[in-house]
A = this chain, B = another copy of it.
Amino acid sequence: MGLATDGHNRRAVVLLSGGLDSATTLAMAGAEHFDCYALSFDYGQRHGPELKAAGHVADHCNAREHRVITMDLRQFGGSALTDDALAVPAHGGDGIPITYVPARNTIFLSYALGWAEVLGANDIFIGVNAVDYSGYPDCRPEYIHAYETLANLATKRAVEGETLRLHAPLIDLSKADIIRRGVALGVDYALTVSCYQADAEGRACGNCDSCHFRVEGFRSAGIPDPTRYQ
């Protein structure tokens, strides 16, 4: 749990996209009594409304602080989420879809690691899921384990004997289980935006991979879907 030996809550950096998974992860970290420092990225993604949602979720879940790092992954391109010339596909199709952003989680976690070191935090939370997901390589358990190994070699804190834990509490949950867990913790999913191409008001397309998994998740959990659709 989140209590440090001196009785104070410990700090944790929580990656927060503004989607359903990361909102649930933030609530789970809070339930473990971590003081949560939420970290979001404005990386030139199509789904800008997600970022506004991240701010609302951080407030709603009582994050201690919420920071948004601006970076331009459009410089590299190669993904339908960062390259306007590539269309977001509907759900379906084989292999890793074109919505995969090269090295995205690796970059995000690296910033989280830097912030954790400055904060004196030994815990980082990421809401990746390897069940109802799009097959992105950087959402798999072996990836998470390799990152934790790396993190424990990368920093001054590690050399000084502190151990960093990389938590991926959703990794083996179904989308329905994630939603049930979040509802039990009081997450207001109406605040969250999962759609890859939400409109300016944050309304979802209902059609993309991310919408597909979300719709199925609510249905399978037997919980009314609060998502606003276009």
Contact = CB atoms under 8 A, between A and B. Distances in A.
B156 A137 contact: yes
Interface string A100-129: 111111110111011101100000000000
A149 B106 CA distance: 13
Contacts of A137: 153-156, 158-159
B153 A150 contact: no
Interface stretch (A18-26, A50-58, A69-77, A180-188): A69-77
Oligomer: number of copies:
2
Contact of A69 (B75, B115, B155): B75
A8 interface: no
| Listed residue (A70, A77, A78, A96) with the most chain B CB atoms within 10 angstroms of its CB | A78
A146 interface: yes
Given A106-B150, A137-B159, 18 more contacts: A69-B71, A96-B156, A96-B159, A100-B156, A102-B115, A102-B118, A102-B156, A104-B114, A106-B110, A106-B114, A107-B114, A137-B153, A137-B155, A143-B153, A146-B146, A146-B149, A146-B153, A149-B149
A110 B103 contact: yes
A140 interface: yes
A67 interface: yes
A133 interface: no
Contacts of A67: 75
B150 A117 contact: no
Contact of A102 (B76, B143, B155): B155
Interface string A137-178: 110101100110111011110110000000000000000000
The 6 lowest CB-CB distance pairs between A and B, nearest first, are A103-B114, A102-B117, A78-B118, A102-B114, A107-B110, A146-B150
| Listed residue (A105, A111, A140) with the most chain B CB atoms within 10 angstroms of its CB | A111
A166 B204 CA distance: 40
Nearest to A103: B114
